Amino acid sequence: MKKNPFFIKFMKLSAFFILFFLLEVLETRAGRNAVLSDEGTPCSSGVKLTERTLKNHVETARHNGPEAQYLLANEILKLNTSGRNVFQVKINQIAFDLFTQTADHIPEANIKLASMLVQGRGAGGLTDDNDRKAVGFLGKAHLKGHEEFDLNNEEPLYYFIAKYRLASMYIQNRGVCWSKYNDEITFRYLSSVVAKKFKNAPHLLALMYMSGRGVPKNHVAALTLFMLSKTSKSKVYISSYLKFQLSTSEELPSFEDAIKSCVDILHLLYARHQLCVEENSPGEHSNEKTILAPQFFKMYEDLVKKEKAIIDFLQALKEASPGLMITNVKPSDELEEAILLQEGNPFISYFEFEGKRYLSFGRRNVELAHGLQTSLKVFDEIENLLGQIRNIYVIAHKEITESSDNEKAAKKPKSIQDIDDELALILPLKDEAKDLIPKYVGSRNSKFLKQHPYVSSADDEDIWYDSDEYQFLNWEVK
């Protein structure tokens, strides 16, 4: 049977188109349906990313300059390139080349290049030389940031990122040989980026303080940073520094309720004294020989200031974070020695009160603990001032009673009974404030325990410093 030439030609063409379609599908699946405009930035045209379309975008980006190249490289990195097939290796190489070409103009490109090398997404995958090259690129970004700071007196974000990642390389001796100088640089870099809220920076800096690497050992500083850190590993070290001693306590009204009662009484006294000063303060034409003399008002003003200071302090006490004057934590021997040696430490400190020792954590809590002790002395000063004012009123009442001057009698000052009432309020208030420390320690202990449930009990085994603890940080390319 003779074959139809038209049919044969049709079959060949069909086979060619089927083969072309299969190749196109396979090539597209190896990449991803990316949405890119001619400038290499996202749009909604739905262009399928293939090797040919990617090449066109690269040419367009090169024509449009470094910023377009940098943007295109970032878009390429968003593709699913976790595997190592031919297409994925190629697009990694294209992104790497684009970042390399823009590195002199855009400092952030150096950080991207370092990240790609650490992840093995550079030209040769993971090689022994990647770390050294990554440190070099991070060094360039750091130098650019330093130059920009000298020029504009403002530190750009990439400058801190470069320092943070350089520190993470140095601390693991990746790409560099260990040296005391490198440890000192690492400490300096980490210290400068902690305030910028890099997730692992407080933890790494705490390890340096704890091990004495790049800085003299300081267990108080180490604990401070571990408690600031959000990493799970930091919790392990906190449990080595602090051991809970479980204690029972009777049910009492909350610490906050007790403070509120003190504040309410002081608000009452403060308002009454303030009113007295405002109503009776002598004007420009007043007679200084009157009973309510200027020095009397000065005493009242002093009284108002002292009561206002106690109100402010007690309100701050009510809002205190857990860790104020607690007794259920036993510091490790190393930490306790450091606390006792560093008197006036702003983060953690012991306080003696009526023969018992309390521990306060956190800068604000340490300040409040000092303030609580000071406020008890202020109560004595208030009591003394009220006594002096009372004596003035006794004299005033006597003079008014004996005076025949009706105008002077009309200026009868506050009654002595009012002052006696205030004295009657101040005396138990002072006792109530003193009770805040021992009476509600159980409430404060449990509040601290709820915030730090990972702190171990006294029977648990210590998990102490491990030289392999310096784990590498999150190096995803963003």
- Beta-carbon neighbour count of residue 359 at 10 Å? 24
Q: Helical H runs in 84-242?
A: 86-102, 108-119, 130-152, 157-171, 180-193, 201-211, 219-228, 232-241
* Statement to judge: residues 134 and 101 lie in one domain: no
CA dihedral (53, 54, 59, 63) positive or negative: positive
Tell whether the model's pLDDT for residue 218 goes beyond 60. yes
291 shares its domain with 424: yes
Single out the residue of 311, 314, 317 nearest to residue 268, CA to CA: 311
The partner residues of 457 in beta bridges, in order of sequence, read 244
The closest of 149, 190, 150 to 166, measured between CA atoms, is: 190
Q: From residue 83, how far is each of 22, 135, 449 by CA, in Å?
A: 21, 25, 46
If one compares 407 and 170, the residue with the highest pLDDT of the two is 170
Residues 100 and 235 in one domain: no
**177: domain CATH number?**
1.25.40
Rg (alpha carbons) of the chain, rounded to whole number: 37
- The count of domains in the chain is 3
Residue 2 lies in a domain: no
- C-beta of residue 463 within 8 angstroms of C-beta of residue 239: yes
CB neighbourhood size of 240 (10 A): 21
**Same domain flag for 280 and 334:** yes
Band (pLDDT 50/70/90 cuts) for residue 16 is low
Helix (H) or strand (E) holding 356: strand 356-361
pLDDT band at 18; cut points 50, 70, 90? low
Question: Residue 298: how many CB atoms within 10 A of its CB?
Answer: 11
Across residues 48-74, what is the average pLDDT?
82
Whether residues 132 and 216 share a domain: the answer is yes
3-state DSSP call for residue 357?
strand
Token pair 């004996």 is found at 402
Phi/psi for 428 (5° steps) reads -70, -25
Q: Give 32's strand partners.
A: 49
pLDDT at position 248, please? Answer: 53
Which one has a higher pLDDT value, 277 or 404?
277
Do residue 327 and residue 427 come from a single domain?
Answer: yes
- pTM for the predicted model, two decimal places: 0.63
Domain that includes residue 144, residue range: 113-240
DSSP alpha helix (H) spans, 319-460:
333-341, 363-402, 406-409, 416-439, 441-451
Asked if residue 142 is part of any domain, the answer here is yes
Q: Which two tokens stand for residue 450?
A: 């709820």
